[in-house]
Chain A
């Protein structure tokens, strides 16, 4: 049935075949917590006997836990998984993020386990940054390009062990990862379905985790990560997240996820923990100005019009490109591209307009110079923030965004002045504080 040929160098493993588990000796399987939440194992990993057309979207192992928190019943589709859009109200969830601790199920995110003797060298060749400098239990933001220097995808790379890494991305890249693996002793597995992930973001995040048994979580530095043993559940916690807040992401076995979720709620109640949805995640990344693959930019293998593909410089990810280090795919092309003027830029804009807008034209002097790709209203700043793609030559001077919106049964066409933002609209000072605050004294 499976048409795969055995590749000696780059292997591919079917999901479920090899669940990512921490080293057993290091994390003995202690007595598990009594089950305090339900999980249907079939909910997450696609059951092999269920035909693909059986369900349009799948559910994560936390689906029941998350659904219990929903008062809106608003759901969306994230990478083929049912994800809450809004659980209570976006305003309330935003308050939780900026003033307490916002818990989200980010299991639908794509995760690859990359291991083997050449894993480090392989990844160093794959991504534009210097992977050799990454120490064990550390993460780094990465971007990877094809040989013409156009971005295939971006994400975070975690080093879990000497020859073991985890690449977390927004979109799937298995074909490119395997094609790039020729000549390396490396094993690449898609562990998206066998690894659950939680995001806990907000000023009280460390306090909640501390109360839940994550000892000395406050000492974790930004982009640091560590294994924790929470009542027998091995949990890998990293100080990462795309919110501009103090925040952590927790990686663990799907079977344990509902128990950890319940435990965080239990211990975090006094710190104001609340569950939040995808809309908040989007709003938070727009406030920080982080473009999302497939939304604010198109990967080189997705863009039907080649002009829609972007270089890392055009995405504002120049800091992730190390042209002076070792060789990586696309380095020569990027060297040349760096000398050249970018064709377009992904920019953050502030608009004095009270509603989120979608797919609006960015104009200058009456001509269309770009497109708004995502936007959200920041209640903290009282402005509408947007990410968009703008022709490079137009990235100076006065910009406007043309919006059609409905007023009764009429269309009102507005030209809203837009300001280019050169730095994140919101970024919490706690993001870089070590040790992270454990009390509500920020």
Chain B
């Protein structure tokens, strides 16, 4: 029987990252991916021959710079582009863009409100402050603060003394950031609805939260995590991988193999072999058994435990707790091939921010209603629509002069209150979205060469993510940090000995995809090292 040091179940970016780190540390590694292409939710496909497009995700996934450099992914062909943050088209026919350059961004905000151009300074300061406090939490496990160990106590004391030195006002600011809704938080800085809607939709796209939902404000930090105070003072840059997120997966795969790791695609794991309360290996769909000293799961929490184990083998109450972890899809994906470049009337020609994506007419109210629809299980009547034209940054993804349009439709519920997603309902959603795109870009219908829509259930059945939830579990505060997915599991270990979680279901989740894989790999490597 085949035997390895570590088996990684699932070839998403976290699984690949874990595999690459483990292989680099000298472990014999085998990564098993169910589908034909690596990347999991970030995989690409050819919608029609010659037109490559991210199948499930918008195409803006990236990896933390630390991982790119530690795994030397540049040597494996990975290249990035830094582009402006994107454009929102407004209902009144106008637009608002996010520019990296401070002077240009201020002028852009000034078109909407002179005061907001200046409010940006203080907003950016507070975002950078919040990001600075958040950053150290991402690379590394967060221990359960209630666990009574010496190291936890020491860390708590250190944190407490650090906070003791801080200004009271700063503590107040921090409390606001972590508890307020996006809309309430932004009201403190900005007046223009366009500015507020732009920032709120940036933060909340892909979550189930509406702009007026409490604790939404902290999502504003996401874009600032890699931003430095020294930058020119504009909006955070968007970093795109050339070739799309699938190129990241390919480079990670190459890194795994360069370090002697093995990757098998179209190899679905159906069971984890248990012996004496510990994981000893996996069983593939074709019945093949493979053994390993450590098993890492890049599947979401629910799929890991509810699909790979006989429930009776799990500790008392565990199945129930896993079942309560909230995973609900929020985004549908529409993939479009175009025979020429899409034009957006509202945006002046040559606007460099278009490379960062376009978002369709959004107001805080509309987002609020869409979020309500999601909660009520109704296909959103005014969905939040995010678009990216990957071919603007990388023309090789389509034949010369042609383009692909990647569309993420947010606040789309996974289960409908009155039934299931049928082909008919999927078409209704598609028509609504295409209609909205055509309002901003007349004539786009005639340019469509191919179009395909995937609802959350479609994503679930193809990628295997429970509920089609691309973030592997809601990112509300009760499911983040030492609570992700639960205090006992946040440290990547599980009740099953030798089984580790490395997906977005564990800390830090979608805050820097790849971190969970790297953190879990560090833990497993030290376990393998101790074992000798």
Enumerate chain A interface residues (CB-CB to B < 8 A). Answer: 1-5, 12, 14-15, 46, 51-53, 56-57, 77, 80, 148, 172-176, 178, 190, 301-306
A-contact 0/1 string along B224-264, CB 8 Å cutoff: 00000100000000000000000000000000000000000
Closest 4 interchain pairs by CB?
A3-B192, A175-B118, A52-B107, A80-B103
Q: Which residues in A have their C-beta under 8 angstroms from that of B351?
A: 51, 53
Judge whether B103 and A306 touch: CB under 8 Å: no
Residue B113 interfacial (CB < 8 Å):
yes
Query: What residue in chain A is nearest B109 (Cβ atoms)?
Result: A52
Judge whether B108 and A2 touch: CB under 8 Å: no
Q: Which residues in A have their C-beta under 8 angstroms from that of B191?
A: 3-5
Of A51, A57, A306, the residue contacting B166 (CB under 8 A) is A306
Of A3, A51, A53, the residue contacting B112 (CB under 8 A) is A3
Judge whether B125 and A303 touch: CB under 8 Å: yes
C-alpha gap A23/B112 in the complex (Å) = 31
Q: Which residues in A have their C-beta under 8 angstroms from that of B103?
A: 56-57, 77, 80
Judge whether B353 and A175 touch: CB under 8 Å: no
Judge whether B106 and A80 touch: CB under 8 Å: yes
Q: B115, B125, B352 — which one has the most chain A CB atoms within 10 A of its CB?
A: B115
Q: Which residues in A have their C-beta under 8 angstroms from that of B452?
A: none
Judge whether A3 and B125 touch: CB under 8 Å: no
Query: What residue in chain A is nearest B168 (Cβ atoms)?
Result: A148
Q: Which residues in A have their C-beta under 8 angstroms from that of B352?
A: 53
Q: Which residues in B have their C-beta under 8 angstroms from that of A46?
A: 107
Judge whether B169 and A148 touch: CB under 8 Å: yes
Extra contacts besides A3-B112, A52-B104 (7): CB < 8 Å: A1-B94, A2-B192, A3-B191, A14-B114, A15-B114, A80-B107, A303-B125
Q: Which residues in A have their C-beta under 8 angstroms from that of B82?
A: none
Judge whether A175 and B115 touch: CB under 8 Å: yes
Judge whether A304 and B192 touch: CB under 8 Å: no
Of B97, B115, B132, the residue contacting A174 (CB under 8 A) is B115
Q: Which residues in B have their C-beta under 8 angstroms from that of A148?
A: 167, 169
Q: Which residues in B have their C-beta under 8 angstroms from that of A306?
A: 129, 166-167, 169-170
Judge whether B118 and A302 touch: CB under 8 Å: no
Judge whether A51 and B125 touch: CB under 8 Å: no
- Across chains A and B, the number of contacting residue pairs, with CB separation under 8 Å, is 91
C-alpha gap A424/B130 in the complex (Å) = 40
C-alpha gap A2/B353 in the complex (Å) = 21
Judge whether A52 and B99 touch: CB under 8 Å: yes
Q: Which residues in B have their C-beta under 8 angstroms from that of A178?
A: 115
Q: Which residues in B have their C-beta under 8 angstroms from that of A51?
A: 348, 350-351
C-alpha gap A56/B103 in the complex (Å) = 7
* Listed A/B pairs (29) with beta-carbon separation below 8 Å: A1-B94, A2-B192, A3-B112, A3-B113, A3-B116, A3-B191, A12-B114, A12-B115, A15-B114, A46-B107, A51-B350, A52-B99, A52-B105, A52-B107, A53-B97, A53-B351, A56-B103, A56-B104, A80-B107, A172-B118, A174-B114, A175-B121, A178-B115, A190-B114, A302-B121, A304-B125, A304-B229, A306-B129, A306-B167
Q: Which residues in B have their C-beta under 8 angstroms from that of A5?
A: 191
C-alpha gap A173/B189 in the complex (Å) = 13
C-alpha gap A148/B167 in the complex (Å) = 10
Q: Which residues in B have their C-beta under 8 angstroms from that of A4?
A: 113-115, 191-192
Q: Which residues in A have their C-beta under 8 angstroms from that of B114?
A: 4, 12, 14-15, 174, 190
Task: Output the least CB separation between B305 and chain A (Å).
Answer: 42
Judge whether A172 and B117 touch: CB under 8 Å: yes
C-alpha gap A148/B99 in the complex (Å) = 32
Residue B119 interfacial (CB < 8 Å):
yes
Query: What residue in chain A is nearest B84 (Cβ atoms)?
Result: A53
C-alpha gap A148/B191 in the complex (Å) = 24
Q: Which residues in A have their C-beta under 8 angstroms from that of B113?
A: 2-4
Task: Output the least CB separation between B201 and chain A (Å).
Answer: 15
Q: B107, B112, B129, B192 — which one has the most chain A CB atoms within 10 A of its CB?
A: B107
Task: Output the least CB separation between A310 and chain B (Å).
Answer: 14
Contacts A12-B115, A175-B122 hold; do A52 and B192 have CB atoms under 8 A apart?
no
Interface of chain B residues 21 through 54 with chain A (CB within 8 A): none
Q: Which residues in B have their C-beta under 8 angstroms from that of A52?
A: 97, 99, 104-105, 107-108, 111
Residue B92 interfacial (CB < 8 Å):
yes
Task: Output the least CB separation between A170 and chain B (Å).
Answer: 13
Query: Which secondary structure dominates where chain A touches chain B?
Result: loop
C-alpha gap A46/B111 in the complex (Å) = 10
Judge whether A175 and B119 touch: CB under 8 Å: yes
Q: Which residues in B have their C-beta under 8 angstroms from that of A14?
A: 114
Q: Which residues in B have their C-beta under 8 angstroms from that of A15?
A: 114
Task: Output the least CB separation between A220 and chain B (Å).
Answer: 33
Task: Output the least CB separation between A172 and chain B (Å).
Answer: 5
Query: What residue in chain B is nearest A79 (Cβ atoms)?
Result: B103
Judge whether B112 and A173 touch: CB under 8 Å: no
Q: Which residues in A have their C-beta under 8 angstroms from that of B129?
A: 304-306
Q: Which residues in A have their C-beta under 8 angstroms from that of B107?
A: 46, 52, 80
Judge whether B121 and A1 touch: CB under 8 Å: no
Task: Output the least CB separation between B195 and chain A (Å).
Answer: 7
Task: Output the least CB separation between B355 and chain A (Å).
Answer: 12
Residue B271 interfacial (CB < 8 Å):
no
Q: Which residues in A have their C-beta under 8 angstroms from that of B353?
A: 53
Residue B194 interfacial (CB < 8 Å):
yes
Q: Which residues in B have their C-beta under 8 angstroms from that of A176?
A: 118
Judge whether B115 and A53 touch: CB under 8 Å: no
Q: A14, A57, A175, A302 — which one has the most chain B CB atoms within 10 A of its CB?
A: A175
Residue B101 interfacial (CB < 8 Å):
yes
A-contact 0/1 string along B341-361, CB 8 Å cutoff: 000000010111100000000
Query: What residue in chain A is nearest B193 (Cβ atoms)?
Result: A3
Task: Output the least CB separation between A109 and chain B (Å).
Answer: 15
Task: Output the least CB separation between B508 and chain A (Å).
Answer: 22
Judge whether B108 and A174 touch: CB under 8 Å: no
Task: Output the least CB separation between B229 and chain A (Å).
Answer: 5
Task: Output the least CB separation between B35 and chain A (Å).
Answer: 40
C-alpha gap A12/B116 in the complex (Å) = 12
Judge whether A174 and B117 touch: CB under 8 Å: yes
Contacts A52-B99, A52-B111, A306-B170 hold; do A3 and B194 have CB atoms under 8 A apart?
yes
Q: Which residues in B have their C-beta under 8 angstroms from that of A190?
A: 114
Residue B128 interfacial (CB < 8 Å):
yes
Query: What residue in chain B is nearest A299 (Cβ atoms)?
Result: B121
Q: Which residues in A have their C-beta under 8 angstroms from that of B122?
A: 175, 301
Q: Which residues in B have their C-beta under 8 angstroms from that of A56?
A: 101, 103-104
C-alpha gap A342/B432 in the complex (Å) = 62
Query: What residue in chain B is nearest A175 (Cβ atoms)?
Result: B118
Judge whether B350 and A53 touch: CB under 8 Å: yes
Judge whether A302 and B125 touch: CB under 8 Å: yes
Q: A2, A3, A15, A77 — which one has the most chain B CB atoms within 10 A of its CB?
A: A3
Interface of chain B residues 168 through 194 with chain A (CB within 8 A): 169-170, 189, 191-194
Judge whether A301 and B125 touch: CB under 8 Å: yes
Task: Output the least CB separation between A20 and chain B (Å).
Answer: 16
C-alpha gap A304/B229 in the complex (Å) = 7
A-contact 0/1 string along B79-111, CB 8 Å cutoff: 000000000000010100101010111111001
Of A77, A80, A301, A305, the residue contacting B121 (CB under 8 A) is A301
Judge whether A1 and B112 touch: CB under 8 Å: yes
C-alpha gap A304/B94 in the complex (Å) = 33
Contacts A172-B118, A173-B118, A175-B119 hold; do A2 and B125 have CB atoms under 8 A apart?
no
Task: Output the least CB separation between B177 and chain A (Å).
Answer: 14
Judge whether B119 and A53 touch: CB under 8 Å: no
Q: Which residues in A have their C-beta under 8 angstroms from that of B112?
A: 1-3
Task: Output the least CB separation between A175 and chain B (Å).
Answer: 4
C-alpha gap A301/B124 in the complex (Å) = 9
C-alpha gap A280/B114 in the complex (Å) = 31
Task: Output the least CB separation between B120 and chain A (Å).
Answer: 8
C-alpha gap A301/B118 in the complex (Å) = 10
A-contact 0/1 string along B471-500, CB 8 Å cutoff: 000000000000000000000000000000
C-alpha gap A175/B195 in the complex (Å) = 15
Query: What residue in chain A is nearest B90 (Cβ atoms)?
Result: A1
Task: Output the least CB separation between B196 and chain A (Å).
Answer: 9
C-alpha gap A173/B120 in the complex (Å) = 11
